[in-house]
Each structure stands twice: as structure tokens, then as C-alpha cells.
Amino acid sequence: MNNMIVPDPAAALDPVLGRLADALPEMSPQLRKAAQYVLDNPNDVGISSIREIAEVAEVSPNTLVRMARAAGFEGYEEFRHPFREALRAGRESFPDRARWLQSIARGGRHGPLYRDLAASGFDNVERLFAGTSAEEIKRAADRIVAARKTYVLGVGIGHALAQSFAYLARMAIEDVVAVPREGGLPIDDVARGGRGDVLLAMTFKPYRTEVVEAVHAAKDQGAAVVAISDARSSPILLAADHGFVVPTGTPQFFTSTVAVMALLEAIMAFVVADADPAVIANIERFHRRRHELGVYWKDGE
């Protein structure tokens, strides 16, 4: 028992998905479309009917049957069987977290580090959502949707997170900008803000002076502040209208941003969920235009 390595039930699907991927180059465009959906959404195959899969994949049920045969199966039901078994095995035998973490710690010299990284990542995300309510996230998201302009501020490890959030937000609402811009300081852009604007700022120990100063400047000018940091005593949380404490513990030297990203994704999801229908139209228009311009790669071209 002490030497047990716990199997991943989903691993049983690897040969099936491998056969499907290997068959892709020889498939027609419609069969490839069906196969690509299965490869991207394997859990759906075990749960949904063939008609339901066909509808969301935008192919006919018969196309799914032919796809299964092209992958070497007699029919769709034979193809679907391992997907259903993987789901059943996952529900019945997926281990509790402690056993799983113990098992991966035996993976050689880096096993214990891998275990500790996994454990801290799980713990950070759980603690984030346990200590945060949907209502708090919704209030912050509503401020962003209603804002005249939203500035998203992150420096150091927060820079890429701010850029990512602003990139996604601009698909739905136009007036979102990541700061500082290249060659500038956070205060350069924030100084232009005022009543009706929002500053979403993040900083983690040791706190960055320019972020703290930008938060205070935004408050002085009447802008609302959404602050993300790692302790309730953080100087930006003390000044915030909406504040979120995000666990960042990790066994490595650098601050973990796993839970920070989870929070930003949650805020973004709430921005879209309760926004005006025009927001959804903006996202659809954004992607449609990119398809028209050839930004996205198309299979078969």
C-alpha cells in the first residue's frame, strides 16, 4: 500500500484519443471537425448522446459514426464505451487528495517538490474561493462594466496578469487599458482618471511603491479602486472600494499567481455573465472579424 501509485482513470482514454489524432490527416473536413471536437471535449462523449454531440460539434450524427470507424472502431457505441468507463472509474476510484499527493512524491528527486507545488496550488485556490463570495466578485465586476474607463495595473509578476485581463476585457468592453504602458509610469495614466473610472490594481509582498502611489492618486481623483493583494494589511487593500485577499503561498522562491489568475478569471466571467447583451455581441463581433481577417488558423487550409 505504501508503494501504491494511484492511476489516473482518464489515462485509459489515451490510446483511443491517440488513434483518433493519428487518423486526422486522412479524414475529410467534416470528419476532422467531429474528431477535433472529441479531442477537445472528451468528457462530453461519455455524458452526452450522439445527437447532442453532433449538435454542439455542428456535424451530423452519421458523421460521428463515420469518424469512429475511421479511427478503427466498428461503430460509435464501441468508440464511446471507453469514454463512459473513464468517467465511471473517475467517480468511483479517483483518490482523495492526500493519497494522490503522497503517490506523486515518489517520482524521483523532484517528486517531493512536484507534490508540494500541487498541494500549494490547490490550497491557494480553495482558500481564495472559501474567503471570497460571489456577491463580492459581482460588485467589483459591475463597477468595471459601468466604468467610463478601467485601468488595470500590475508591475513585476503582476504585469502579465494585468495585460491578460485587459486583453480579455476589451473583447467585451472597450475602455479597458493595462498600465503602465511601455516607457511610462503607472501614475502617468492613472492621473488622467477620475470620477466614474475604475483602477484594478494588484501588488504582492514586497509591495511596489508605484502601485501604492497609483491607488492613492486614483482615490484622490474620485476613481473607484478594486485591489488584489496577499494580506488584509496590504496598503492597497486598506484604500480599496473592493478588496480581495489572494493566497500566494508556494514552496518555490517566487510568488505563486495561480489563485490570482483564478480570481481574475472569475471577475471576467462575472463581467460577461451580467453584462448588457451588447457585451456578448461585442465578443462575437471581435471573433467574427478575426476569422474574416484570417487571424485564426483553419483546419484543412
Asked if residue 75 and residue 28 are part of one domain, the reply reads yes
Asked if residue 287 and residue 226 are part of one domain, the reply reads yes
Q: How many domains does the chain have?
A: 3
Instruction: Pull the grid cell for residue 157.
Output: 509578476
Asked if residue 273 and residue 195 are part of one domain, the reply reads yes
Last residue of a domain, one of 85, 111, 128: 128
Asked if residue 165 and residue 44 are part of one domain, the reply reads no
Distance in angstroms (rounded) separating the CA atoms of residues 32 and 278 = 33
Alpha helices in 1-75, H assignment, sequence order = 14-23, 29-40, 42-47, 50-57, 61-70
Distance in angstroms (rounded) separating the CA atoms of residues 140 and 271 = 9
Asked if residue 18 and residue 86 are part of one domain, the reply reads yes
As a whole number, the mean pLDDT across the chain is 85
Asked if residue 280 and residue 142 are part of one domain, the reply reads yes
**More confident position, 285 or 214:** 214
Asked if residue 105 and residue 150 are part of one domain, the reply reads no
Asked if residue 234 and residue 160 are part of one domain, the reply reads yes
Q: How many residues does the chain have?
A: 301
Instruction: Pull the grid cell for residue 106.
Output: 515518489
Asked if residue 283 and residue 151 are part of one domain, the reply reads yes
Q: How far is CA 221 from the centre of its chain?
A: 33
- Say which CATH number the domain at 222 has: 3.40.50.10490
Which residue range is the domain that position 124 belongs to? 97-128
The answer as to whether 300 is a domain residue is: no
What pTM was estimated for this model as a whole?
0.69
The answer as to whether 207 is a domain residue is: yes
- pLDDT of 215-230, one tens digit each? 999 999 999 999 999 9
pLDDT classification of 148: cutoffs 50, 70, 90 = very high
